[in-house]
Structure 1
Amino acid sequence: MTELEKMIAGHPYHINDPELVEIRFDTRDKTDAFNQLSARQAEQKSALIKDIFGQVGDNVHIEQGLRVDYGFNTKIGNNVFINYNFVVLDCTDFIIGNNVFIAPNVQVYTAIHPLEPRQRAQHIGQAKPITIEDDVWIGGGCIIMPGVTIGRGSTIGAGSVVTRSIAPNSVAVGNPCKVSRTLDHQD
């Protein structure tokens, strides 16, 4: 199994494997090009977004300040708006559903580093997938940690650190992020 295959499967892998380093450089070159475009260069921006990410639905808008590790592990649904300074460490699957709003300065980390210092010194990594289901709003400055699913119809309050999965139709806030209320169909 290659280091790339190990990474995608969620197994421990060598972060500085030459193939992985080259993929990250290639993705960073593309995100740098995206970030340099004028706001009016919508067609070029759209083309680069489709080249950076593994899947991009219809009516997807991403503001500049984008930072992405791999790109091909990220799949974006339809009608998605992502505001400024979005950081994606997508060492394994990162799924964004339909009708998702992501505010400025949101960071998404599928990457995990070992707690044991000797393993960290050997540049061993691991990853757990993240899913943001349909109709979710992520507030500004949120951090979403490895292995989390944010359920359909949920709202995550600004500045939250999401360390555990959030049930559908929830309003969740804080560090660590906790459900403060459940929405019903009238909300």
Structure 2
Amino acid sequence: MSELDEKQKMLIGMEYFPSNKLLQTQRLHAKTRCHQFNQLAPKEFKQGMRLLKALFGSCYNFWIEPHFYCDYGFNIHLGKNFYANHGTVILDAAPVTIGDDVLFAPGVLISTATHPKNPQKRKKGIETAHAITIGHGVWVGMGAKILPGVTIGDNAIIGAGAVVNKDVLPNTTVAGVPAMIIDSNNHSD
């Protein structure tokens, strides 16, 4: 069996070096696309959506407000009717899969990348990345942060400013730092 390259390691959740030339080149490509998108005039929204569509791994009908940033783009998979308000950041070293009818308020941050607890490994620049999955019908509130490896169930609500560091059950509302369940069966209104 041949040795895995850094991108393969990144994609399967192993320790990898993000300083690898290929990964640097791919991040530069994504950052260039994001920069182009973020510089467009508001009336050029169709061109903006085309720029992002070419960057993402898969997507359907979606709308993202500028400013938007991501690391790679190819690991972002959007369901139908996705909407992200201004200031969304998706650090997609691992896959980020977002279901249908999902809403992001302004300033949402999603990060799949993390660093080792071992300080010697951190000094070497090692990272790992863990996939994030967001189910259908989820609403993520303003300034919420979703951390590596989290799965958010269908119809969940993530409160503004929440830091989600563990899985969220379907049909629940979480808020706080760290995010805790504050309500379940959120379909009443």
3-state DSSP of counterpart to 2:127: strand
Amino acid at match of 1:180: I
For residue 66 of structure 2, what is the aligned residue in structure 1? Answer: 64
Identity of aligned residues (%): 37
TM-score (norm 2): 0.96
Question: In the alignment, which of 131, 144, 161 is matched to residue 146 of structure 2?
Answer: 144
Deviation of the 1:186 alpha carbon: 4.0
Quote the residue 2:165 is aligned against.
163
Q: Which amino acid aligns with 1:128?
A: H
Q: Which residue of 1 aligns with 2:126?
A: 124
User: Is structure 2 residue 100 aligned with structure 1 residue 98?
Assistant: yes
**CA-atom RMSD, angstroms?**
0.9
Residue matched to 2:86: 84
Contact 2:172–2:186 (Cα < 8 Å) also in 1:
no
Change beyond 3 A, Cα 1:121–1:184? closer
Letter in 1 for 2:181: V
2:57 corresponds to? 54
Aligned equivalent of 1:20, options 20, 23, 30: 23
Residue of 3, 9, 13 corresponding to 1:10: 13
Alignment of 1:30-49 (within 5 A): 30-49=33-52
Distance 1:160 1:30 in 2: 29
Gaps of 5+ in 1: none
Deviations 1:38-92 (A, max 9, x none): 111122111111112111112x000001110011001001111100011111001
5+ residue gaps in structure 2? none
Cα deviation, residue 133, structure 1: 0.4
TM-score, scaled relative to structure 1: 0.97
Alpha-carbon contact 2:173-2:186 (below 8 Å) kept: no
Count of residue pairs brought into register by the alignment: 186
